[in-house]
A and B are shown apart, each in its own frame.
Chain A
Amino acid sequence: MTAPVRVPVPADLSDRLAIPEPLVRLEGVAKTYTARRGAGAVTALEDINLAVPRGRVLGVIGRSGAGKSTLIRLVNGLERPSRGRVIVGGAEISALSEPALRQERRGIGMIFQHFNLLSARTAAGNVALPLEVAGYERSAIRARVAELLDLVGLTPQADRYPAELSGGQKQRVGIARALATNPKVLLSDEATSALDPETTRSILDLLGRINRELGLTILLITHEMAVIRAIAHGVAVLDGGRIAESGDVFEVFTRPQAAITRTFLDEETGRTLPPALAARLTPGLAPGEGRQAVLRITFRGPHATDPVLAQLARDAGIPAGILSGTVDEIAGRPFGTLVVGIASDPGTVERAKDFLAARGLDVEVLGTLDLAGWQRTAAPRATDLTHVA
C-alpha cells in the first residue's frame, strides 16, 4: 500500500466520539545521511514513532544534534525519510511526488528560529506571499492578510519592513504567514530560541491561543523545557536520534524515566539543591550526629496544596526542615517539589516514606546531609553571603 488513502470521517461523528485521531504520524522513521567520498553514513534519526493528535500541541525536546530539525522537516517533506512513513492528515507525505507535496505543504504551516522573512517585502507583503503562491485573487489576499495581521496584533505595523520590526514582531509576521493558507498543522522550529524571555512568553501565549481558538494542531521542537511546559500537551524527548521518552507532559515532567529527561528537568524546574547543600550531600543513608536524611517530595495535581509537612509532624511525629522547594504549574496542573531534611535513622526514613506515599506523593531519598558542618563554616563568612546574594 503506497498510495495515500483518505478515509472520510463525518465531522459530527468524530466530534461525538471525541477520539483524538492522530493528525501527524511518524511510523518507524529513520533518516540516514550518506556522507560523500567514502566517509561513513551519519544516522540522524532511528526508529521514530510519533503521533500528534488533532488539536493538540506536541513538543519535541532535545539537545542540539539530537535530530530535532531533521524530524520536523520530515513532516512537511523538506527532508525525506530513509525508512518508515510520515503521514499528515491522511496523506503519506513520504511517498508523494514533489508537485503533490507542494499542494500538501499548503496545509502545513511552518515558523522558524530566524523568522526567514523576505527583507524586500513589508509585513503585509510577507503574509501575502503564500497566498500569491497558492494563486489567490488579489482582493481575497488583501482581506485575508488584514485578518491575519489582526490575529497576531500587527495591524499598525502592516507596512513596515522586517528591518523595522522587533524580534517578537518578526515572529508574529512569521506566524501570520504560516497561517495564511489555513493549515491543519503548524510546525514550529525553535520559534522562540532567538527571543528574550519576555518576548518568548508573548509568542508562546499567541501560539497557545491559536491552538485553543482555531483548534490548530502544533508540532514544535525546542531545547527549552520552559517552552514545552508553557504550551505543550504531550512531549517526546529526543536523544541521539531516538525517542528516549514520550507521553503526557505532566506525567513525563513529574515522573521522568529517562536520564536525559532528568537533566532537562534539573536545569529548568529548580529541582536540584542549592549548590552549598548539594556539596554536602552524600548518597545513601548514613545515620549520625548532626546529619539529616534528605527526601525529595513531589506533589502532583490535587495533592500540590496539601499541608503534608504539618501532617507529617503531627500525625507521624516526624518533624521536617525545608531545604528547597518550588510550586509550579505544568500543562495547567499544579506541581511542586519540596526537598526536606528529617532524622537520618532508617526507621524514621521508612516511616516518613510510607506516610507520604500513602497520601499519593512521590518520595525519593536523595542522600544524607551533614548539616552541622555546613552551619559552622557558612555562618561567619560574610564574604560568601555577598556571592550568594
Chain B
Amino acid sequence: MSPELLRLLVQATLDTLRMVAVAASLGTLIGLPLGVFLATSGRGELLAAPWLNRVLGLVVNATRSTPFIILVVAIIPFTRLIAGTSIGTSAATVPLTVAATPFIARLVEGAVREVDGGLVEAARAFGASPLQIVLKVLIPEALPGIVLGLTLAVVSLIGFSAMVGAVGGGGLGDLGIRYGYQRFMPEMMLAVVVVLIVLVQLVQTLGDRLARRMNKRLRHG
C-alpha cells in the first residue's frame, strides 16, 4: 500500500474514532439520565411520573425504529441547525448522537431494572431520598451492566459511522466504499475491514474487563 493510501487509512481511522467518541460521550451524557429516569418513573416507582415516562418511551421507540441511514437524511435540517452544515465529519456526529442516545438510554434502563428491588426498599427504610437512592444505590449497583451496555453502544456506533459517508461524513466506512468498492481496490477494502475488526475487538475486550472488575457479585481471587 502506497504511503498516500496509508495516510488516507490513518486519517479515516482518526475520523471514525472522533465521531464515535463524540457521539458516545454526548449519547451517554443524555442517555444515562434518560435511561435511569425511564427505569424509575413508571407507575408506583421511585420517581413516579407515568405520563412523562410514556411520552419519553414513545420518543425513544420512534428514534430507535428509524433505520439509521434514513435518520441521517431525515434530520438534515436539525443537523444544519446544530453543526452549521450538513456535510462533513462534524456534521455526521449529530445523527450519530441522535441514534446513540435512545439506544444507550434503553441499555441503561435495562441495567437499572436489573438491580434488586430489595436494595431500594432497604435504602428507603434507612431514610434515603429518591435522588440519593438513584445516585448511591441504583447507579453504583447497575454500573457493571451499564458498562457492558456502553460497550455494545460503542461497537454499534462504529458500525453506524460507516454509513455517514452518505453525507460526506468520512471515516473508515466511507473509505472502504469509495476506494475499496468504487475504485476496485480490494487491498483497501481489506485494510478497512481489518482496522474495524481490531477496533471492535479492542473496545469489547476493554469493556468486558472493566465490567468484570466492577462486578463485586463475583468472587475474585
What residues make up the interface of A, taking CB atoms closer than 8 Å to B?
76, 78, 99, 102-106, 108-110, 112, 114, 116-121, 129-130, 132-134, 161-164, 177-178, 180-181, 187
Contact = CB atoms under 8 A, between A and B. Distances in A.
Contacts of A163: 216-219
B124 interface: yes
A164 B217 CA distance: 9
Contacts of A130: 126-128
Contacts of A132: 136
Given A112-B118, A133-B132, A163-B218, A120 B127 contact: no
B124 to A, nearest CB: 6
A120 B125 CA distance: 19
A19 B143 CA distance: 51
Given A116-B116, A118-B137, A118-B140, A106 B218 contact: no
Interface of B: 116, 118-119, 121-129, 132, 136-137, 140-141, 143, 214-219
A78 B127 CA distance: 10
Contacts of B136: 129, 132-133
Contacts of B129: 99, 102, 133
Given A118-B141, A132-B136, A181 B127 contact: yes
Nearest to A187: B125
B126 A109 contact: yes
A134 B216 CA distance: 25
A116 B219 contact: no
Contacts of B123: 129, 133
A161 B216 contact: yes
Contact of A133 (B119, B121, B128, B218): B128
B15 to A, nearest CB: 37
A177 B126 contact: yes
B140 to A, nearest CB: 5
A31 to B, nearest CB: 16
A105 B127 contact: yes
B119 A120 contact: no
A118 B128 CA distance: 14
10 contacts: A76-B125, A110-B126, A117-B122, A118-B140, A119-B141, A120-B214, A121-B140, A133-B123, A133-B127, A161-B216
